[in-house]
Amino acid sequence: MAPEQIISTTSAPAAIGPYSQAVRHGDLVFFSGQIPLDPETMDVVKGGIEVQAVRVLENMSAVAKAAGGSLQDIIKLTIFLTDLADFAAVNETMKRYFDAPYPARSTVQVAALPRGVAIEVEAIMAAPGTL
């Protein structure tokens, strides 16, 4: 089996800890959690859940592109929300970024997320050309 490949792009926020933006292992790409940081300033975007969800998905899209794919190659998402009342708004935002058939997904409410954000999303993507 080929060695792991670290995926990195300046079009998404740099890691704020000892981890990689994503790692390809075999036919899968594992994304670290993305929070709504502007990749240029590393500041949390201003605005409600819709603005934060858009930034997260834009960041994920940049990482997917760096891995040679797109959001359409994602097969599993895990969404962490600090308030499940935001669930419907996140669903509506996702519809702008994903086409059917949608990836498998879990959404959980958590007590807190880094930098006080309302959303974090991690993913598993099929490496391009493997679907």
What pLDDT, in 10s, does the model give residues 95-119?
999 999 999 999 999 999 999 999 9
The Cα 114–Cα 128 span in angstroms is 30
What pLDDT, in 10s, does the model give residues 65-87?
999 999 999 999 999 999 999 99
Between residues 33 and 128, which one has the greater pLDDT? 33
CA 68 to the chain's CA centroid: 15
Average pLDDT over residues 25-54: 97
129 pLDDT more than 80: no
Between residues 64 and 128, which one has the greater pLDDT? 64
49 pLDDT more than 60: yes
Is the Cα dihedral 113, 54, 97, 82 positive or negative?
positive
Single-letter code of the amino acid located at 79 = I
pLDDT of residue 79: 98
Domains of the chain, first to last: 5-126 (3.30.1330.40)
Cis ω for the linkage preceding 101 (within 30 of 0): yes
pLDDT of residue 131: 59
